[in-house]
A and B are shown apart, each in its own frame.
Chain A
Amino acid sequence: MTVLVGYQWAASPKEATVLDDGTVTWAGANRVVSAADRVAIELACRTAEATGARTVGVCVAGPQAGADPRARSSALACGPDEVVVVAAGREPDTYEVAAALAAVIGQLGDVDLVVLGDCAADAGTRMVAPVLGGLLGWPTLTEVGEVAPDPAGGFEVVDDSRGARRRTRVTGPAVLGVAVDACVPRQLGLRQILAADSKPSRVVPAAELGLTAPALEVLDRAPVELGRRRGHVIDEADPARTAALLVDELIQAGVL
């Protein structure tokens, strides 16, 4: 059995700059396996260890990840037994990431569980796990905090469904989107980093997977403009006076 974990090799959007014409630039940005993806990798590895399975990390990304060996070694150091990077000609969108993962799962053949960082397996749409579950026809849950093998077969999963903690029994293979607070990733030491060198990894050009992408044309991009606000400042030393001025503002605005 194989537990497959998806991850990204990406910089935080906080490191990007949007120019006036909408171009997004990443000059000097530091690509990493994000904290959310490290949580997903940890949960995948723990589940695999509990069931005697192996863990395969899969990163579906643009050309940079294919060319940069750190996209593989950084993930391998976090625990997986093997890593596959699917390198597309450009940054893939949600559907393309899901379709590529489905293709790799088809090739591996023995995947029983897919674990994805809930917010981070693509540009933050949180839709990769749902689309992948749909492509595979497998039960899918998101916001997952715990997963344990069920002695009767399948898995027992605890997730957060709009503020309610649910315990769900899933039979057969499943796709899980993992909450960022599901577990604490293991500390990375020299031992893990050195061990990564001896683990297998490969780069697969996305073109080899024979994927079809949905019809979607990018017309243009623009920086986000937040609305202009009045910006009235209250800066008084005395809290009672500050409170009085603020309540007065609220009354004037008719929002109380």
Chain B
Amino acid sequence: MTTAWLVAGEGPGVGALVDLARSLAEEVAAVVVGDDADARAVARVVDRVDWVPCAAGVPAECFAGAVAEHLAGAELVLAGTGPASRVLAGAVAARTGAPVLTAVREVVRTEGAWQITRLVVGGIATERNRVPGPVVLVTEGGRRVGGEEADSTAAEPAVQRLDLVRLPMSCPQAPVVDGEPHDLASAARVVGVGRGVRDPGELEVVAELARALGAEVACSRPVAEDLGWFPKDRYLGVSGRRISPRLYLALGISGQLQHMIGVRDAAMIVAVNTDRRAPVMSEADVAVVADVHTLLPALLDELGRVRGVPLAEVAR
């Protein structure tokens, strides 16, 4: 029997990993490094959980060595792209001597080996690999699990507590949260901010539009990394988050391949750009040739009008 192991270092945002694991293995188990609620949430959607309690002041990363030892015999390990999950997964790869593959698009089991298709060279090409031995896959974790999708009539799932040794690290102060919490992975609508938005003062209007649409706000990589308008866990693309909302509204984003990889699974893509020939325009369902600065106020008015309520109510 093949067991797929999930490694969760950032809470229960592992929905996509569970789906992938279920398609590949008879049993799905998880190592959850976090609090008791995280462990129970994940336990509702997998077959068993080994829980590594992680108190405040203890970074999840300090269990990397011990988690790797615990998973030394694992054949298939899946982890999300958050920093702690990556550190835990890297340690598992080092311990098992397994290749660690990222930006995974497809995995199948064929002729006794894993066959993996993944993005390479910064997302411009795909590569198919055959891995006969153990493998560690690091890919977008996906939606939070353990909420409404769980079967509430089922017995409380078994969680086994592990007390593991730690590497010498500690956080003397509580982390300072930068920006508002968000759930990009399960958002039905996402507004993407690109460099074309230009003026950070405009972000207030973007936030208002997002509220009116019931959307989360994300961005392109330079907007997070060069301009610093958003925390880095908000940029989309091959090296950032990958999302699959019903609507992705790209504002002033040129649509380079590295960005579009992150939004290709959106059901509908709308692009707003002054340049009709920007690559995003040919990747969109609706390409709006417009200046975001003049379009956004008009769009807010129109949304208020069609809903027959004052703008302030729509935007609440």
Question: A: which residues have CB within 8 A of B?
Answer: 12-14, 16, 18, 22, 24, 93-95, 98, 119, 123-127, 129-135, 137-143, 154, 159-172, 179-181, 212, 214-224, 226-227, 229-236, 239-240, 242-244, 246-247, 249-251, 253, 255-256
Contact = CB atoms under 8 A, between A and B. Distances in A.
Given A95-B99, A166-B175, A226-B283, A255 B268 contact: yes
A224 B123 contact: yes
B82 interface: yes
A224 B126 contact: yes
A165 B176 contact: yes
A119 B239 contact: yes
Interface in B235-286: 238-239, 246-247, 256-258, 260-261, 264, 267-270, 276, 281-286
Given A16-B121, A221-B120, A251-B306, A246 B288 contact: yes
Given A163-B177, A250-B247, A219 B268 contact: no
In the A-B complex, list the 9 residue pairs whose CB atoms are closest, starting with the nearest.
Answer: A130-B90, A134-B94, A13-B122, A134-B91, A164-B175, A171-B168, A243-B298, A239-B298, A243-B302
A179 B232 contact: yes
B121 A244 contact: no
Interface stretch (B19-27, B143-151, B289-297): B289-297
Contacts of A119: 239
What is the predominant secondary structure among interface residues of chain A facing chain B? mixed
Main SS of the interface on chain B? mixed
Contact of A134 (B92, B173, B297): B92
B231 A160 contact: yes
Contacts of A154: 168
Interface in B42-68: 59, 61-62, 64-65, 68
A219 B115 CA distance: 9
A180 B269 CA distance: 29
A165 B86 contact: no
Interface residues of B, number: 103
Contacts, number: 296
B301 interface: yes
A113 B107 CA distance: 36
Given A13-B122, A13-B123, A169 B172 contact: yes
Given A13-B123, A160-B232, A247-B299, A130 B87 contact: yes
Contact of A255 (B94, B99, B247): B247
B181 A163 contact: yes
Contact of B99 (A161, A169, A216, A251): A216
B200 interface: no
Given A167-B171, A219-B127, A233-B288, 17 more contacts: A18-B121, A95-B98, A134-B90, A140-B90, A142-B83, A165-B177, A168-B169, A169-B172, A212-B97, A216-B99, A229-B283, A234-B286, A240-B298, A242-B290, A243-B295, A253-B285, A255-B189
Interface stretch (B31-39, B130-138, B155-163, B191-199): B130-138
B91 A229 contact: no
Nearest to A233: B287
Given A179-B232, A253-B268, A215 B306 contact: no
B130 A140 contact: no
Interface of B: 10, 59, 61-62, 64-65, 68, 81-84, 86-95, 97-103, 115, 119-133, 138, 167-173, 175-179, 181-182, 188-189, 213, 225-226, 228, 231-234, 238-239, 246-247, 256-258, 260-261, 264, 267-270, 276, 281-290, 294-295, 297-299, 301-303, 306
Nearest to B172: A169
Given A24-B124, A247-B303, A231 B64 contact: no
B93 to A, nearest CB: 5
26 contacts: A16-B124, A18-B125, A94-B100, A95-B98, A119-B239, A127-B90, A127-B93, A129-B87, A132-B90, A133-B64, A134-B92, A159-B83, A162-B10, A166-B59, A169-B171, A169-B172, A170-B168, A170-B169, A180-B225, A214-B97, A215-B99, A216-B131, A219-B127, A223-B125, A229-B269, A243-B298
Given A16-B124, A142-B87, A172-B168, A246 B115 contact: no
A127 B102 contact: yes
B133 A127 contact: no
B127 A215 contact: no
A212 B98 CA distance: 11
B10 A219 contact: no
Contacts of A93: 99
A162 B233 contact: yes
